Structure 1
């Protein structure tokens, strides 16, 4: 399946082999920005990127995860949105939106679209997501998309919140 769904100024595309160069550039360009609110991926992530990308595609082929990239109408990769640890109709949502797209609705639109795809295309019935308390933008995106707080937790030693969202079943 090659899910490509419009989100206004962006398209959410299922991860493919040809996304690798743009995805690596995106991660490099935003590394310092992401490290402010989420654990850094470490140098090995970048030096072993080609292997990691192939491994993600293989995992996606098993159905255990669904990886997506957010592409602007001009063809720039501006984010990633993933559903991982799929089991019993549930998955964990994770997303990264590049610094240049912050405040433009990309994260809110991408999460809304992945919630739609999760229920309608992937047959999931529930999503979970975790964010740190010091990431108010991510908290806002989750709440705007119908996620509710279920418990406090820690993320890489920092206080966080686990959220859940039920999904409408497939029609």
Structure 2
């Protein structure tokens, strides 16, 4: 069982620890955020919270049954009833259905609380786990693209009926 919580300043310490603890794990499948991300984490968090306050993004932390932060799931670039989905689940929670549950929950939030009608996501071809999560949660392939010079697929999902 997981819980999504909307990102707040109170998550800062746990979120920074999560990012530090999983840095090498994430770098195996997505570009590393670099040292500046960690050095300026507080400034970055304040900027994210400002984006969330103005409604252009919705950031969430994923908590396990014990209340430990095990992931993030975000909706960014909200416009015209749509947003781009992004997520990252820590190594300790991978392979246990956490990403699938988090994506399903954020889809419900997107359709309900946020009033969105569709979501998009982009995943590189060398990230089969994320591609499988999107397929399991109702996303369909919508075309080829490139991310950080790597071949990728764009996915989309209608939120009608949620």
Q: Shorter-chain-normalised TM-score: which range?
A: over 0.9
Q: Alpha carbon RMSD of aligned pairs, Å?
A: 0.9
Contact 1:128–1:162 (Cα < 8 Å) also in 2 = yes
Structure 1 residue 73: Cα displacement = 1.8
1:140 alignment partner, SS class: helix
Structure 1 residue 67: Cα displacement = 0.1
Trace 1:114-129 onto structure 2 (pairs within 5 A). Answer: 114-129=106-121
Structure 1 residue 168: Cα displacement = 1.9
TM-score by length of 2: 0.98
What is the aligned counterpart of 2:148 among 146, 152, 156? 156
TM-score by length of 1: 0.93
Q: Is 1:102 aligned to residue 102 of structure 2?
A: no
What is the aligned counterpart of 1:112 among 104, 115, 121? 104
- Report what 1:19 is aligned to: 11
Unaligned runs of 5+ in 1: 1-8
Distance 2:135 2:141 in 1: 9
Unaligned runs of 5+ in 2: none
1:92-121 CA-to-partner distances (Å, cap 9, x unmatched) read: 000000001011000000000000100011
Distance 1:107 1:129 in 2: 14
- Report what 1:85 is aligned to: 77
- Report what 1:28 is aligned to: 20
2:142 alignment partner, SS class: strand
Q: Is 1:142 aligned to residue 147 of structure 2?
A: no
2:20 alignment partner, SS class: helix
